[in-house]
Amino acid sequence: MIKYKKNAASRGGKERILADILFLGTCAADFSPRLLTDCRDRFDNDARRASCALVNGRYLIDCGPHCPDSLRIAGIDPGCITDIFLTHLHADHFVKESVEYVASSHPVRLWVRSDATLPRIGNVEVMRMDSFERYGAGEDFFVTGLPANHDPDAFPQHLLIEADGKKIFYGMDGGWLLNKTYARLWNTHLDLCVLDGTCGDYEGDYRMGEHNSIPMIRLMLPSLRTVGAIDGHTLIFISHLAPSLHKPHAETVRICEKDGIHVASDGLRLSL
Ligand SMILES: [Zn+2]
Ligand SMILES: [Zn+2]
């Protein structure tokens, strides 16, 4: 059983928790039919919902088909969400109706790669992100979009998030790391590194140019350590798991534990 440390900082005599992330969905696009039956109103480690996460209670990463259900189950009021950052436009990460749901009662900023084409959505202001530019989206919250090795027609970008002084790399979706993205991560000493873990613990999958497998991540981590992108304090997570390509969650946790890799699950909240 992995324990996640809760870290509190003292500022102005007032103690508060630093950046936190709530995984609202950790699946690739092969969803379990159980989402429509016994898992309709709860999170289940083996019936994952579409990839989605919430940082600091108000910054949503991706907004796919299950986002409204995930928010409801997690007890999150969509009215608290001020910004949505899209990693790309594949249908498991972006659904117009889900964004409409989040923005139904208040204005929301939707951050996308600068060249992405989006439909018009009420209450939504589209914010265009040039790669490698650092954008401030709130007090002590900055996001940089980095090019991703994924379907170019979906305008993919990885996200480098700086929240309350903590650094988070959210690399969904993408296989390996592109040259300049890798270079940008040198010496960042990430607090949290969330990698695409679509494929399971086997070699030879054809998706190498768009998604990672566990053996690929095993190869990547020592190099990331060598260049100071991660170090001994970095929490390493995989998300975007395809159930059809992985063992059940509990077994995947065991497989990954010996390499220091944690496996994200729906409803998991980390305080950094
Ligand atoms: Zn995806
Ligand atoms: Zn994708």
246 vs 15: CA distance, rounded Å: 41
Q: What was the pLDDT predicted at 13?
A: 43
Q: Is the pTM of this model over 0.85?
A: yes
Buried/exposed 48-78: b ≥16 CB within 10 Å, e otherwise: bbbbbbbbbeebbbbbbbbbbbbbebeebeb
Domain that holds residue 158: 18-129+137-271
Q: What was the pLDDT predicted at 18?
A: 75
Distance (Å) from CA 86 to ligand 2 centroid: 11
Domain count, the chain: 1
Distance (Å) from CA 101 to ligand 2 centroid: 22
Distance (Å) from CA 151 to ligand 2 centroid: 7
Distance (Å) from CA 78 to ligand 2 centroid: 24
Would residue 8 count as lying in a domain? no
Q: What was the pLDDT predicted at 120?
A: 96
266 vs 69: CA distance, rounded Å: 12
Would residue 13 count as lying in a domain? no
Would residue 187 count as lying in a domain? yes
Distance (Å) from CA 56 to ligand 1 centroid: 23
User: What CATH number is attached to the domain comprising 167?
Assistant: 3.60.15.10
Distance (Å) from CA 240 to ligand 1 centroid: 7
Would residue 63 count as lying in a domain? yes
Q: What was the pLDDT predicted at 133?
A: 98
Distance (Å) from CA 197 to ligand 2 centroid: 12
152 vs 194: CA distance, rounded Å: 21
Q: What was the pLDDT predicted at 6?
A: 41
* pLDDT by position in tens, the chain (length 272): 344 444 444 444 445 557 999 999 999 999 999 999 999 999 999 999 999 999 999 999 999 999 999 999 999 999 999 999 999 999 999 999 999 999 999 999 999 999 999 999 999 999 999 999 999 999 899 999 999 999 999 999 999 999 999 999 999 999 999 999 999 999 999 999 999 999 999 999 999 999 999 999 999 999 999 999 999 999 999 999 999 999 999 999 999 999 999 999 999 999 99
Q: What was the pLDDT predicted at 138?
A: 92
Would residue 4 count as lying in a domain? no
Would residue 182 count as lying in a domain? yes
Would residue 148 count as lying in a domain? yes
Q: 155 Cβ partners below 8 Å, 6+ apart?
A: 88, 89, 112, 113, 115, 116
Q: Near ion ligand 1, which residues have CB within 5 Å?
A: 92, 173
87 vs 156: CA distance, rounded Å: 6
Q: What was the pLDDT predicted at 4?
A: 44
Joined together, the tokens standing for residue 126 give 């589209």
124 vs 103: CA distance, rounded Å: 7
Distance (Å) from CA 239 to ligand 2 centroid: 12
Cβ atoms < 10 Å from Cβ of 38: 10
Distance (Å) from CA 241 to ligand 2 centroid: 12
Q: What was the pLDDT predicted at 36?
A: 97
Would residue 2 count as lying in a domain? no
